[in-house]
Structure 1
Amino acid sequence: MRFATYRLGDIERSGVVADGRVHPFPRNVDLRAVVTLGPEAALRLGAEALDASDGVALDAVRLRPPLTPASIRDFVAFEEHVEGVRRSVDGAGGVPDAWYEAPTFYFTNPHTLHGPGDDVAFPARCADRDFELEVAVVLGGGGTSLTAAQARDAVFGYTVFNDWSARDLQRREMRVGLGPAKGKDFATTIGPWIVTADELEPHRDADGFLDLWCTASVNGVEVGRDLLSNMGWTFESLVAYASRDSRVEAGDVLASGTVGNGGCLAELWGRRGRTDPPPLRDGDEVTLTVQGIGSLTNRVTAAAPAPDLPPVRRRDPAAARLSGAAPLSGPAR
């Protein structure tokens, strides 16, 4: 099944998408609560919604982000992306040895989510605007230090994920050695709905990867195409690693990282040694499509300039500020 959140007039509802229509759940039932029920109960609820009404035509509603996640982790599971973007962001070549040791991720902002058709405002200071074509799992269960088999059982479904990136801001931030912050957290798009895991099982290959075509286009011109099965780690491995010595919960969203072969512009910039295709500009429309899931289209805009920060206080790191501090006591006797 396909579960969506939508707005009709001033009312926001969630429901099941089928045959070009959305069939609502009872009022005040949001999709996060449905996901938390787990796949079996959610499918029963979906069947009840299909039987209860004729629904509303999809073109009469405004699709919203399917759910507000408990948290969002974004991995980097494609070697081709790592290799190309490293050249673009920090000038380094190749794939770091550490990439092969464990699936790496960062946390991004669940409070700046966008849905299909929304305008996405980049920071005013950003010139190198970019998209990132990804697929994310939505968890219907959780736990600590899960095995890969347990992690597979925890997957509720899948959605398309666009990790918008301010590359020039990211380039500066990552020189500090922590990772992206303001280069990423201004916007993420997910949707157009959540496709339950059972629908995509026929696409699973012998190694456990989902063999789905993923494409990206800008203003109707395709710039990237790759198979999701080119991931280095399965989604079950990503979920299991996220849970290691920690905890994942129902409602968490975990993204694959950007596909290769043009899954973002920065990969192409790194490979070609020039900004070709050019960075996104105001009015550009980006469409990401994943076989078996659906498409996301968003228009790029610019945010109003943010206020300046006070300047940094510079000092010698070796010169501890001890004036007025109590003297260190000697050893206890």
Structure 2
Amino acid sequence: MKLGRFVVEGLDGPVQRICMVLPEQNRVIDLRAAEALRLQAKGATREAALRYASTVFPESMSAAIALGQQFLDTAAEAAEKNGADASLAMDGLKWGAACDPSVVRDGLTFTKHIRQFHERMNVTPQPALLEIPGYFKGSPWTVIGHDAEVPWPARGQRIDYELEIGWVIGSRANNITPDTALAHLFGVTIFNDFSARDLQANEFAIGMGPTKSKDFAYGIGPWITTIDEFSDLNAIKMSVRVNGETWGEGDSSEMLWTPEELIAYVSIGDHIQPGDVIGSGTMGDGSALELGRSLNPGDVVELDVGGVGVLRNRIGQRPEESWWPERRDPFM
């Protein structure tokens, strides 16, 4: 099953609607509308049907996933009974981010990318990369969806994409182990960890992890494919195109740390929540940095992940100069 969110304009502003996505038919099913119609056919009033349907299919994908199997069962039944009457053509839809995670987490697991990234950044890989599946935490407030424009970061000059798989968490977990981690995995999406490489180099020197080099945009979408549709998480085809030209191709086979190990490690002493998205780390040749290239305003980036689809975003224009900290000299 493929599940996403599209945006409609309401009286109080934009509203997110959860939908079942049928790419091969070029349509989506508005699940809230389909469920309301199903309930009305069984005798519910329109008002009561909408109240119930809005609970099962709220604006938040994370809240819907938290309902567990009831969410998927109701989606399947509503689509089967009234999907035809609640369908919309995909053409012209405004997409929201496929998920609204409580926190962004992004790993570093692809061996080829690790090697090439460190070579380009002129730094030596740390032995700790072989000891733990490292990851960083980012802002959930800058998550964007399919076809959204990527805001150019303040003071950034060298902008990059990063082709990653997004592991979508299905149930709350704490201190789990790899052998049980897959039971907590809801599905797979595409994760674009946009980066400002010039800012990133400066932040690396501080040693506290990335901030402004990352927290201007995280692409998540175009939708989520539920985990039952994948037979092998280590054989997912991946590619990236910029302005229609293929810049990188590969698959998920070269992960140093498995999805199960990454998810389990994140849960140690912490709590993963339904709808959280954990980035797999960038595929080898999955960033412009590895090719000695970078992005320009107006460039269109398309990340293609087998079994999911294509996440497309356009790079925005450079902003006007804004406030930025001035260098301090403690010995003045």
**TM bracket, shorter-chain basis:** 0.7 to 0.9
Preserved contact between residue 175 and residue 268 of structure 2 (Cα < 8 Å): yes
For 1:109-141, what per-residue CA distance to the aligned partner results, in whole angstroms no more than 9, with x for missing partners?
Answer: 110111111111222422211000000111111
Question: What amino acid is aligned across from residue 18 of structure 2 in structure 1?
Answer: S
What's 1:266 paired with? 289
Identify the residue that residue 175 of structure 2 maps to in structure 1. Answer: 145
Matches of 1:86 and 1:223, distance apart in 2: 19
Q: What is the aligned partner in structure 1 of residue 264 from structure 2?
A: 240
Task: Please report the RMSD computed on the Cα atoms of aligned residues, expressed in angstroms.
Answer: 1.8
Taking the TM superposition and a 5 Å limit, the aligned residue runs for 1:30-69 are: 30=59, 31-38=61-68, 40-50=69-79, 51-54=81-84, 55-69=87-101
Structure 2 unaligned blocks of 5 or more: 33-52
Q: Structure 2-normalised TM-score?
A: 0.85
Letter aligned with residue 13 of structure 1: R
| Identical amino acids, percent of aligned pairs | 34
Q: How many residues were matched structurally?
A: 299
Matched, 1:215 2:239: yes
Distance 1:132 1:313 in 2: 33
C-alpha distance in structure 1 between counterparts of 2:229 and 2:186, whole Å: 11
Q: Output the CA distance in 1 between the equivalents of 2:128 and 2:111.
A: 12
Unaligned runs of 5+ in 1: 270-277, 318-333
Q: CA–CA distance in 2 between the matches of 1:223 and 1:116?
A: 19
Contact 1:6 1:62 in 2 (8 A): yes
Aligned counterparts of 2:222 and 2:325: Cα–Cα separation in 1: 40
Q: Is the radius of gyration larger for structure 1 or structure 2?
A: 1
* Paired letter, 2:137: F
Shift in Å, 1:308: 2.1
SS of the residue 1:142 aligns to = coil
> Per-residue displacement from partner, 1:17-64 (whole Å, max 9, x unpaired)?
1232211222532322221122x3232022123122311111142121
- Residue 173 of structure 2 aligns with an amino acid whose one-letter code is G
Show the counterpart of 1:301. 316
**Distance in 1 (alpha carbons) for counterparts of 2:173 and 2:16:** 31
Query: Which stretch shows the higher mean deviation, 305-314 or 124-133?
Result: 305-314
Give the TM-score normalised by the residue count of structure 1: 0.85
Asked whether the 8 Å contact 2:62–2:276 carries over to 1, the reply is: no
**SS of aligned partner of 1:180:** coil
The correspondence for 2:16, drawn from 8, 12, 15, is 12
- Cα–Cα, structure 1 residues 114 and 310, in superposed 2: closer, same or farther, change >3 Å? closer
- Larger fraction in helix: 2
Deviation at 1:245, TM superposition (A): 1.9
The range that moved more, 298-307 or 229-238, is: 298-307
